[in-house]
Amino acid sequence: MDKKETKNRIEKLRDEISRLRHLYHTENNPRVTDDVYESLTKELNELERKFPDLADPNSAVRRVAGEPLSKFIKVKHKIRMVSLNDTFSEEEVLDWENRIKKLVNKDFNYFCELKFDGLSASLIYENGVFKSGATRGDGFIGEDVTENLKMVNTIPLVLNPLKSLLARKGVSLGKDDFVPKYLEVRGEIVMSKRAWKELNKNQEKEGKPIFANTRNAAAGSLRQLDSKIVKERNLDFFAWDIADIIFNDTNKRLKNHSEKHELLRKLGFSMSPYERKVKNIKDAFIFIKEVAEIRDKLPYGTDGVVISVDDLSIQESLGIVGKAPRYMTAFKYPAEKATTILKNITVNVGRTGVLTPVAHFNPTFVAGSLVSKATLHNMDQIERLNIKIGDTVVIQKAGDVIPEVVEVLVGMRSGKEKKFKMPDFCPVCGGKVENKKIAFYCTNKNCGAKNNRGMQHFVNVYEIYEIGPKILERLKEEGLISDSADLFTLERADLSGLERFGEKSADNIINSIEEHKKVSFWRFIYALGIIHVGEQTAHDLADHFHNLDNLKNSSLENLNDIENIGPAVSESIYNYFRDKHNLDFINKLFENGVQIIEEKKKTGNLTGKVFVLTGTLPTLSREDAKKKIIENGGKVSSSVSSNTSFVLAGDEAGSKLKEAQKLGIKIISEQDFLKML
């Protein structure tokens, strides 16, 4: 994008982010998931970093949350509620660590805890009794939701040590039994996955809108004016920080963030069930991976892990920059949705002839992998979503499915977007395309895309043995490939998202494809699947023409002059290179990275000798025998002629043996052949 396009894109992003924030925070009406919102915000951040002169100090990404709802009383936070900067990879976490280590001259530990997917709230206690609570709001001013918070069972209305005091009725207490004079606790209002499913079931029965996820459900529930409804919604609260504390003992101080958690747990708060104090960032990564393995099974929604510098004195020295503290970062697990710009739409043809539109975009990180293609399924889906080339779209990749486009952000349109139309003719064979209502089909029965055998022949000749018939069929069904040339456009993310394709098997296939992009000229010819052209004919053509241009431009007469090539074979080769779609396929191979390499002519004991094989050999297969002949400089012919040097005969030799005897050609056994080698 040039400067003008970038400026327009930034303005569009700001408008869309502001609109989505208003819908979510003010109207309590989320139109997109958090993944989509964060993806747009990340893009805006990156563009503002690249073009600082286009950055806006009042940009939406520099605000913590939305304006407070007018139906609740506004309250000013005594201490600002900040937000955290997000990191999405180990590299980004290491960058964060490098930045803070430049400002700190001593070693320190980290504290790791779950990042709950809910609504942040602040609770105030005086002498151990819950007094008031508020939402984050814009970080400075929130909404007073005290009565609603009282309906959350996991929020203690009276702190633990004070309960002990009341129970003991005057028994003198130790120093540790006294609750703080003043306490401000920060934490997350959440809804369990079980409660969310139950709520949606009831909402559906009553004809009310359902909640997209547990976070939306928690936020919507806490903002109810009737606190009885809040009680019915079964919300929970997990504490994660102490913003302010005044002890009875003025000498008492908390030294570490981990000590805050210990104290909150003693006071009766529900805390993160998974947390760990670690010595270094490497151990933090271990914790992140451990949580990733159990995350889906947790009863509450979590979208990451918060990593903090544990030492509170270091936290204080690092301070806050903009909206976020320097001493904390939120590692976010890969989102299942992301936004990207749809650059182009191509069409793949499956084994049944059905045409599948495929979206192409810049490599985008979603669900743990970089993807650059996504299925659009069919024309109905394109029309339903009103997809145009150039649109900002939402892509989704969840579990064992290939990425798909699920939404268009119409508000991001610039007016340059183009409508897509299905082709009238098949992109593989040129056959007429017919709309059969359910889908568009190629009507040519002999379309190359329908020929699984031809594709299997291709991968076998290229020796890409990791791709078998079932894998080929699956790739065609998913719309990832139409022909053999499409194999060379596959990426790891295309395969790793498919059912039963792990990262290792995806890597093996992609590596094998990459390794076999360079092929000898005879393999290139043989793999094309030209009728009547076998392995030896491919060798003969390569030896005679030396390069593809010579072969493509050869006349029928020239082809007929080649030894062992008769009129039918010559005609088949000649016609193949006169077909536009065959030439398009060859060009597509080159465009996708295939290269013909010059192979030195092999010489050996059999140089200049022509062999014909017949019958079954005692130990060697025909393929093994052919390979040995070619490796040692010899040639293999399919028919006996006066030019034949030897006939290698085994058991049950047929007419070729009789023809050799008739012409006086020397007949050898496998033992004779091996001695020659």
Q: Does residue 115 carry a catalytic annotation?
A: yes
510 close to 495: Cβ distance less than 8 angstroms: yes
Pair of tokens at residue 196: 């969310």
Asked if residue 149 lies in contact with residue 364, where contact means CB atoms within 8 angstroms, the answer is: no
- Which residue among the candidates 115, 260, 450, 626 is catalytic per the annotation? 115
Q: What is the DSSP letter of 411?
A: G
* Inter-residue contact 439 to 355 (CB < 8 Å): yes
Token representation of residue 638? 């399919």
Q: How many CB atoms lie within 10 A of CB 637?
A: 20
Distance, in Å, from the CA atom of 669 to the CA atom of 617, rounded to the nearest integer, reads 8
Q: Provide DSSP, 572-627.
A: HHHHHTT-HHHHHHHHHHHHTT-EEEP-PPP-STTTT-EEEEESB-SS--HHHHHH
Going from the C-alpha of 282 to that of each of 158, 300, 392, 450, 477, the distances in angstroms are: 40, 26, 37, 51, 42
Q: What letter would DSSP give residue 208?
A: P
The rounded distance, in Å, linking the Cα atoms of 79 and 141 is 10
- Tokens found for residue 146: 């005290």
The sign of the torsion formed by the CA atoms of 113, 118, 120, 125 equals: negative
DSSP label of 363: E
Going from the C-alpha of 630 to that of each of 317, 519, 601, 624, 635, the distances in angstroms are 75, 16, 10, 10, 6
d(CA 187, CA 269): 10
Active site residues: 115
